[in-house]
Amino acid sequence: MLTSFEIIVLAVAIFFTSGLTTATGVGGGVMMLALMLQFMAPSAAIPVHGAVQSLANGWRLWLLREKMIWPIILRFALPMPFGIAIGLWFFQGLPKEWAQVLIGCFIFFSLFSQHFNKINQKELPLWSFVPAGLVVGILNIVVGVAGPVFSTLLVGRNLSRQSIVSTISIFSLLGHTFKVAGFTLVGFTFFDYAWAIVAMLPSIVIGTYCGRYLLGKISDQVFKRLLRAVMAGLAIKLVIWDGLMAGIL
């Protein structure tokens, strides 16, 4: 159980992480999970984080609902429940540190590959979002967040900043919702953390509005540069801090 002080800290934090995620499409979820892990065991932090992020992404999606890219969303969503099931099966066996290093390396590869013309000129084909949904479903259970992976699939496509953020939001919403359902099926009791989740709702609403305001003030070019910078920072954190320093070395 969380203390009143810890709930207040998390409620304040999610105001900023909701704003960041709405403005850039990524970053807030990873930061929020990292903070939750300071107060909660991973076995509780990951499912509670999933519940909170489901609410945050649902609200963000409602505000940006007209910009969603349905051909991508449908191909991504169908295999995700199977990935969630596989992730739950492997949850106890796969070291989280190794998964975080692999995700960080994948993000670095994606960012640097965009500097090569032959790769940069080609968008991922639509069919590639089918296996991506399966893989991200697995990662979402094992690591707790996979927002940076969503972003690498979209950042090279010719999409507006609103379309990128709204599409990432529905990816995240699906992943976290399926994750909550999976942890519920294996016996996790969300009721023990209900007050903490409810206390974060006002921060989610206000922070998302602030992030949407910022999103409307920046150009697509500046947005993509900012998104790549945030992703690079997250990749460094995943590889060095969460992976190598936390348990691999």
DSSP-assigned states of every residue in 141-173: HHTS--HHHHHHHHTTSS--HHHHHHHHHHHHH
Q: Quick one: average pLDDT of 230-243?
A: 74
What pLDDT does 109 receive?
Answer: 64
Q: Quick one: average pLDDT of 5-10?
A: 88
Query: pTM surpassing 0.75?
Result: no
> Mind listing the pLDDT tens digit for each residue in 63-122?
877 777 888 888 888 888 888 788 777 665 556 677 667 666 766 766 665 554 444 445
CA distance 161 to 218: 9
**Three-class DSSP category at 125:** coil
What pLDDT does 119 receive?
Answer: 44
Domain that holds residue 234: 4-248
- Count of the separate structural domains present in the chain: 1
What pLDDT does 247 receive?
Answer: 60
**pLDDT confidence tier of residue 125, bands split at 50, 70 and 90:** confident
The one-letter amino acid code at 199 reads: A
Residues 6+ away with beta carbon under 8 Å from 221 = none
Residue of 79 and 147 predicted with greater confidence: 79
CA distance 220 to 165: 12
Q: Is the pLDDT of residue 138 over 50?
A: yes
CA distance 1 to 132: 35
Q: Quick one: average pLDDT of 127-132?
A: 85
